[in-house]
Structure formats: structure tokens, C-alpha cells
């Protein structure tokens, strides 16, 4: 049997706008797992937030994996075990915080289970509401980190232009130190250098010994582009941004609120 693997972005791809999953999508995933194929949640979310979603969706059986932190962590959902991890140096993390603070932009990172940031703002409330994570406030970021973090995220809720200007202004400094991209217009993310969802997907494909011709990936945002480009069949959501549609081999007929994942599974996996 030719076992295939599907890498699926989470927010606005697998999940509906209200963060639920349709019964048709759920049934299609279970059907592909029962036939021996692999399903991978590929998200920018931290492992802790992704674990909650995977458990709620019932994606904890053999064949279920997760790429978290935009590729910095590869995780086995069935074994509840991290398979691979890359990190940002503490000094790079601190420098991003300092530069964001100087620019007047909210910034946060993560320890094993918590959001770590310096102040309580509406951006923190916005993120906590969506991630259901706990947080710690600290004057010195390193005091709340148990190890080097997997990413730093800048959030601005009103003006994505401010985030774009920050990314451009700091591009020369970031080169060779970290990788930056948008996961949505409100989130500018900094991850370990040479790390993205595409590198996470490549690691898992190699680990599971799956031929490239059996790989399929789907997403809707800028941070999904490396992943769909690394797959044999790269798919953009109907509700995706223009850049990912240009990079894709196929654009779904349905959006995230109307069973697009089931469409992809029936067309390219089963």
C-alpha cells in the first residue's frame, strides 16, 4: 500500500472561523488514518496549544503528528513525544524583545507551557483568548525561560504596516540569526534560522521513510508557503492569500468553513 502523508495548517485551514472542525472533515481524516495514511497538524502555535487542539479533535492515534512553532518542533501526537526541536539563542530572543520595545510593538515568547512577556496588554489578552494558554509577566525574559525558546512573536492588532516596517528595518540584523515571516497580518514571527513548516515537513517525511511523491500539504498563509512548496502536491485554500495561491499546484473549491480538508483528502489521499 502506498501510504501518503497530508500536512494541514490549522487556523483558517482545518479549523472553521469559529475554531471548530466540521464533521465531514473529521470523518475524512479518520477514514484516511484507518487506511494507513498519515495526518500532520502544521501550525505556528506552541506545542502546548497544539496538544489541546489535537486532543479535542481526536488526533492522538497512531499516524497523527504535529509540526509546531512553524517547524521548530516536530511532535508525535500518539506517543506524546517531541521528535525534533530547534531553538532561538537567548541573546537573539532578548535582542528581538529590545528592538520591539523600542519600536513600541508588543512581543512575547514561550517556555515549556507558558507565554512569557513583559507587560499585560490587549494583544496578550487577544492571544490568550485564542490559544487558551497561561502566561507569565517578567522584567527579564531569561528569568522565565527553562531553555532556549522556539520562537518570538510580535503582535499588532491595528496596523500590520507597522509590523512590515519592523521586519524590513531589522532584516539585515536578523540575517543568519533567525527566520521571520507573517502567520497572519497581526502576527510577525521570528523562528530559528533555516526553520519553517517546510523543514519540519521534510524532517518527518525522512523519519517515516515516505517517498516525496506521497506528500501533500495545504495552507492559507505566508508561513505555509515553504510547506506547500516542499510537498509533491502543494495546495492553497480558497480563502488563502494571493501569494500562496500563486505558489500552489491546486486551489480548493471550498473554503475552511465548507469542508476543504475533506475535499483534499478525497481528491489526493484516498
Candidates 43, 63, 62; CA nearest to 53 is 43
Domain match, 114 and 65 both? no
- The span from the CA of 149 to the CA of 86, in Å, is 9
- The grid coordinates listed for 95 are 535582542
- The span from the CA of 97 to the CA of 133, in Å, is 20
Most confident range (mean pLDDT) of 55-64, 94-103, 124-133 is: 94-103
- The span from the CA of 188 to the CA of 224, in Å, is 14
CATH number at residue 117: 3.30.1240.10
**What is the tally of structural domains in the chain?**
2
- The grid coordinates listed for 213 are 511523491
* The three-state (H, E, C) secondary structure of 189-227, written as one string: EEEECCCCHHHHHHHHHHHHCCCHHHEEEEECCHHHHHH
Helix (H) or strand (E) holding 256: none
Give 147's DSSP letter: S
Domain match, 94 and 80 both? no
Which of 167, 192, 217 represents a domain boundary (last residue)?
192
Model-level pTM? 0.89
Domain match, 76 and 9 both? yes
- The predicted-structure confidence for 162-210, as pLDDT tens digits, reads as follows 999 999 999 999 999 999 999 889 999 999 999 999 999 999 999 999 9
- The span from the CA of 161 to the CA of 259, in Å, is 32
pLDDT of residue 1: 58
Q: Print the domain residue range for 169.
A: 90-192
- 8 A C-beta contact, residue 261 and residue 29: yes
CATH number at residue 242: 3.40.50.1000
Question: Coil, strand, or helix at residue 68?
Answer: strand
- The predicted-structure confidence for 148-164, as pLDDT tens digits, reads as follows 999 999 999 998 899 99
Domain match, 107 and 170 both? yes
Amino acid at each position: 500500500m502506498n501510504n501518503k502523508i497530508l500536512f494541514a495548517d490549522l487556523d483558517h485551514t482545518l479549523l472553521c472561523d469559529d475554531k471548530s472542525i466540521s464533521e465531514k472533515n473529521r470523518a475524512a481524516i479518520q477514514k484516511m488514518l484507518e487506511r494507513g495514511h498519515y495526518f500532520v497538524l502544521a501550525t505556528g502555535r506552541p506545542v502546548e496549544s497544539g496538544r489541546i487542539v489535537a486532543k479535542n479533535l481526536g488526533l492522538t492515534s497512531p499516524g497523527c503528528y504535529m509540526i509546531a512553532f512553524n517547524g521548530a518542533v516536530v511532535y508525535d501526537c500518539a506517543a506524546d513525544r517531541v521528535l525534533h526541536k530547534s531553538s532561538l539563542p537567548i541573546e537573539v530572543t532578548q535582542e528581538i524583545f529590545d528592538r520591539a520595545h523600542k519600536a513600541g510593538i508588543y512581543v512575547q515568547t514561550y517556555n515549556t507551557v507558558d507565554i512569557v512577556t513583559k507587560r499585560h496588554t490587549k494583544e496578550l489578552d487577544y492571544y490568550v483568548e485564542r490559544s487558551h494558554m497561561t502566561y507569565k509577566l517578567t522584567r527579564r525574559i531569561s528569568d522565565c525561560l527553562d531553555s532556549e525558546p522556539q520562537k518570538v512573536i510580535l503582535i499588532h492588532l491595528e496596523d500590520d504596516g507597522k509590523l512590515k516596517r519592523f521586519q524590513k528595518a531589522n532584516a539585515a540584523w536578523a540575517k543568519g540569526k533567525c527566520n521571520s515571516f507573517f502567520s497572519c497580518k497581526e502576527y510577525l514571527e521570528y523562528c530559528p534560522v533555516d526553520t519553517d513548516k517546510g523543514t519540519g515537513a521534510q524532517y518527518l517525511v525522512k523519519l517515516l521513510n515516505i517517498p516525496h511523491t506521497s506528500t501533500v500539504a495545504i495552507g492559507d498563509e505566508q508561513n505555509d508557503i515553504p510547506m506547500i512548496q516542499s510537498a509533491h502536491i502543494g495546495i492553497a485554500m480558497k480563502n488563502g492569500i494571493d501569494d500562496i495561491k500563486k505558489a500552489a499546484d491546486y486551489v480548493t473549491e471550498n473554503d475552511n468553513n465548507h469542508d476543504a480538508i475533506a475535499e483534499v483528502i478525497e481528491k489526493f489521499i484516498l
